[in-house]
Amino acid sequence: MTRPPEPPASALPFVAVGGGERPPLPLPPCRYVFPDPREAPAGGLVARGGDLAPETIVAAARAGLFAWPHGGVDALWWSPDPRAILRPERLHVPRRLARRVRQGRFRVSLDADFARVIAGCAARPGGTWITPALLRAWLRLHALGRAHSFEVRDEGGALVGGLYGLRAGGLFQAESMFHRAADASKVALLALCRHALASGVSLIDAQLPAPHLAALGAETVSRDRYLRLLAAALAADRPAFAPNR
């Protein structure tokens, strides 16, 4: 017997509760010019120094870089090779996960509790790369309407998972996610993909390859390929996410 196809992300019954996105506020020009990431080693460290001002982080994302503190240095800028990406229309939804979503165990919201989502991502038993300076930088980005969070709550209203990242044109640079209940972070990723399909995001930067991302349809591409996809996504610039649908 032939099994029916798995449902696309857009078909899954999410319930949005609260939150909503504000139009992004304008930024001053970035004071720095980043080196060409194509000339960086495979490990991906492109530059060090500068600052974590909102305009710097946004300019870095548009150049194919992201901040990843290490060894007590906050302003380290990376473009790894290879790179993990998700294309929203190619998201793979395992049957068990789709069944869990249909059971109505989770409620998903957008930008309703950014501070608690990033705090949840930073609260890792083995330590975190989300330093206090980086946390403050992302809170500023969120206040400017540049960074966004997807919150996942259980039936009792407790925050059990989520993710956050940066929107720039047709790019969503996903920074981190967390879960306190089984599959909650995957549900946040499903919600991001569904919202991306409705709002013109064609490229989700997942940064580093990981098995749990690959299981959901993440691709591993070369740095050159990523930069070409990024250029296409940025060319389709739209000012903000569309409203929830």
Tens of pLDDT, residues 36-61: 999 998 789 999 999 999 999 999 99
- pLDDT at 194 exceeding the cut of 80: yes
Torsion angles phi and psi, residue 115, rounded to 5: -60, -40
In the chain the domains, ranked by start, together with CATH numbers, are 37-78 (no CATH), 82-235 (3.40.630.70)
Confidence band, pLDDT 50/70/90 cuts, at residue 243: very low
pLDDT digits (tens, 9 = 90+) for 80-129: 999 999 999 999 989 888 888 888 889 999 999 999 999 999 998 877 99
Average confidence score pLDDT of the chain? 89
Residues sharing a CB contact under 8 Å with residue 228, sequence separation 6 or more, in sequence order: none
* This prediction's pTM: 0.90
List residues bridging with 167 in a β-sheet: 172
In order, the DSSP letters of 207-244 are ES--HHHHTTT-EEE-HHHHHHHHHHHHHT--SSPPPP
Q: Which pLDDT does position 242 carry in this prediction?
A: 42
CA trace torsion 95, 183, 143, 202 (10° rounding): -30
Q: pLDDT tens, 55-93?
A: 999 999 999 999 999 999 999 999 999 999 999 999 998
